[in-house]
Amino acid sequence: MHGTETRKGADERLYEVGELTRVEGEGSLRLRVRDGKVTEARLGIFETPRYFEQIVVGRTPDEVIDIVARICGICPVAYQMSAVHAFEDLFGVAIDPAVRALRRLLYCGEWIESHALHIYLLHAPDFLGYESAIAMAADHRQTVAKALLMKKAGNHLIKIIGGRPIHPVSVRVGGFSRVPRRRELEEHRPALAEGLELAKETVRFAASLAMPAFAREPRVVSLRHPGEYPYNDGRIVSSDGIDLAPSGWRDAFEEFQVEESNALHARARDGKGVYLLGPAARVVLASEQLHPVARELLAGTGMAETIRTNIYASIVARAVELVHAYAEALDIIDGYRPPAEPAVAWTSRPGVAAWATEAPRGLLFHRYEVDERGRIASAQIVPPTAQNQAAIERDLVVAAPNVLDLPHAEATIRLEQMIRSYDPCISCATHFLDLRIEEAG
């Protein structure tokens, strides 16, 4: 059931989508406007909780790495990265620089796959007026074929390093269970080089799309690192002065329960307002570290400011990051020498293991308490979509005036398109047990 219109009394409109499509996971949309004022803006999440934070209790760090990947099928690498770096930080494990490079390369693969999937298969149909990429392929077969090619190059990169693109198997505390030979990566280089060219076209394609009108002053948060675009490492920074170690998320942020709703949101402790994560945030905060190829393309679009204030333009930010991921992957492969050992030995220490990395959708924070036996005693996992939820609902409010004059069905599509601009990963957002399940209607 798609967008319903309900008129009740004077001028009350209800924009509702019972089950959002072309987003990962199960969510709903509900926007109620009365006399031009928004009385309700809700991103409903009705994924079933799977209790991951409970399941990992009593397990070992390497088991946790395998388990948390299953929080999300699109971004399993992100979960493995946040977890493994958290444990290595607590246990004082110094990984080989070649291992660090491989981890970034793995992350490049995931960004490529996730961004290509989202731009072309999930989001572009909105801009071009199709209900799906499958329908879009009837008129734009080449475009869709190229998108699939780009996605494949990213998936194959993960496969070379991790065994398979979804839920890779080789990430271990201390390194990897196996590292690729140079030859394996070199054999894939031509596909990545081709993907880079296609990614550059994607920036031009995204910048050419008609952007719906939308503007607000966002507060953005991401990692930032002086020497590289943020993936596994960097300080947590905001556009207004927050600056924390990657383990220090809780110093500035917290999860809380919204009154009258059992959804958990995340907010900044300083009460200065809702914040936004993801490609737009990273491009705003860390554009200096973009690969020169990507930075040049970004400048060429002239859309840096639009990206900052118009959430619909996130597709351009995503395309710029797609270029970056390809370019960085090629650089890493060219400089790759396998480490002496795939992993270093380690021993656990009791304490708190915490770390944040940049998933394709934004900052992903993990925190584990480890006991004397080296087992997990408790876990807290804060995915980007859970943190963006407040921003999505805020933006629904901001978007409301822009859609009031449109025909109802089109207005609803526009609102869905806005939600998709966040690339929400709803299975991630609902992995923990204390989330209210909202049924639409």
Partner 1 sequence: MKHGPVAARPRVGVVKFASCDGCQLTLLDLEDELLSVVEHFDIIDFPEATSARSPGPYDILFVEGSVSEPAHLERIVELRRRSRFLVTIGACATAGGIQALRNWGDHDAFRASVYANPEFIHSLATSTPIAEHVPVDAELRGCPIDPDQLVELLTALNTGRRPQLRDEAVCMECKRRGVVCVMVSGGIPCLGQVTQTGCGAICPRFGRGCYGCFGPRERANAAGLSRHLQLAGDRPREEVGRLFAGFTAYSEPFRSMVTELGGARQAGRESGVEAAPTGGSDARH
The amino acid at 253: F
CA–CA distances in Å: residue 324 to residues 235, 289, 310: 20, 10, 21
Please report which residue ranges of 163-245 form alpha helices under DSSP H: 182-208
CB of 420 to partner 1, least distance (A): 10
Q: Are 308 and 284 in contact (CB under 8 A)?
A: yes
Instruction: Decide: residue 201, CB within 10 A, 0-12 exposed, 13-18 middle, 19+ buried.
Output: middle
Residues 143-202 that bind partner 1 (CB under 8 A): 144-145, 148-149, 151-152, 155, 162-167, 169-170, 172-178
CB of 131 to partner 1, least distance (A): 4
Q: Kindly state the tokens that stand for 19.
A: 């089950």
Ramachandran class of 248: left when φ > 0, alpha when ψ lies in -120 to 50, beta otherwise: alpha
Q: Residue 351 interacts with partner 1 (CB under 8 A)?
A: no
Q: Which of 342, 362, 384, 424 binds partner 1 (CB under 8 A)?
A: 342
Binding region for partner 1 (CB under 8 A) out of 32-40, 137-145, 265-273, 289-297: 137-145
Q: Which of 34, 38, 63, 235 binds partner 1 (CB under 8 A)?
A: 63
Give just the sign of the alpha carbon dihedral 110, 116, 121, 127. Answer: positive
Q: Which of 373, 401, 407, 410 binds partner 1 (CB under 8 A)?
A: 373
Residues 302-321 that bind partner 1 (CB under 8 A): none
Q: What is the DSSP-derived secondary structure letter of residue 334?
A: H
Q: What CA–CA distance (Å, rounded) separates 161 from 9?
A: 60
Residues 70-129 that bind partner 1 (CB under 8 A): 70-74, 76, 117, 121-122, 125
β-bridge partners, 31:
15, 41
β-strands 171-172, 235-238 pairing: unpaired
Q: Which of 14, 29, 67, 192 binds partner 1 (CB under 8 A)?
A: 67
Q: How far is CA 151 from the centre of its chain?
A: 16
Q: What CA–CA distance (Å, rounded) separates 71 from 94?
A: 27
Binding region for partner 1 (CB under 8 A) out of 67-75, 275-283, 321-329, 392-400: 67-75
CB of 140 to partner 1, least distance (A): 12
Q: Kindly state the tokens that stand for 399.
A: 């978007």
CB of 237 to partner 1, least distance (A): 30
The amino acid at 372: E
CB of 293 to partner 1, least distance (A): 25
Q: Are 351 and 61 in contact (CB under 8 A)?
A: no
Beta-carbon contacts of 284 under 8 Å, excluding residues fewer than 6 positions away, are: 220, 239, 304, 307, 308
Q: Which of 4, 34, 38, 49 binds partner 1 (CB under 8 A)?
A: 49
What is the gyration radius of the CA atoms in the chain, in angstroms?
A: 21
Beta-carbon contacts of 242 under 8 Å, excluding residues fewer than 6 positions away, are: 221, 236, 252, 268
CB of 242 to partner 1, least distance (A): 26
Tokens 């609102």 sit on residue: 415
- Residue nearer to partner 1 on the CB measure, 96 or 358: 96
- Residue nearer to partner 1 on the CB measure, 64 or 274: 64
Residues 249-278 that bind partner 1 (CB under 8 A): 262
CB of 385 to partner 1, least distance (A): 13
Q: Residue 43 interacts with partner 1 (CB under 8 A)?
A: no
| Count of residues that interact with partner 1, criterion CB under 8 A | 87
Q: Which of 54, 243, 269, 299 binds partner 1 (CB under 8 A)?
A: 54
Q: Which of 4, 34, 38, 59 binds partner 1 (CB under 8 A)?
A: 59
Site string for partner 1, 386-425 (x = CB under 8 A): ------------------------------x---------
Binding region for partner 1 (CB under 8 A) out of 52-60, 185-193, 225-233, 392-400: 52-60
- Residue nearer to partner 1 on the CB measure, 172 or 394: 172
CA neighbor of 211 nearest in space, from 316, 298, 318: 316
- Residue nearer to partner 1 on the CB measure, 29 or 207: 29
CB of 11 to partner 1, least distance (A): 28
Residues 419-438 that bind partner 1 (CB under 8 A): 427, 433-434, 436-437
- Residue nearer to partner 1 on the CB measure, 232 or 430: 430
- Residue nearer to partner 1 on the CB measure, 10 or 345: 345
CA–CA distances in Å: residue 365 to residues 79, 82, 87: 9, 7, 13
Q: Kindly state the tokens that stand for 273.
A: 């307002």
Q: Which of 4, 34, 38, 50 binds partner 1 (CB under 8 A)?
A: 50
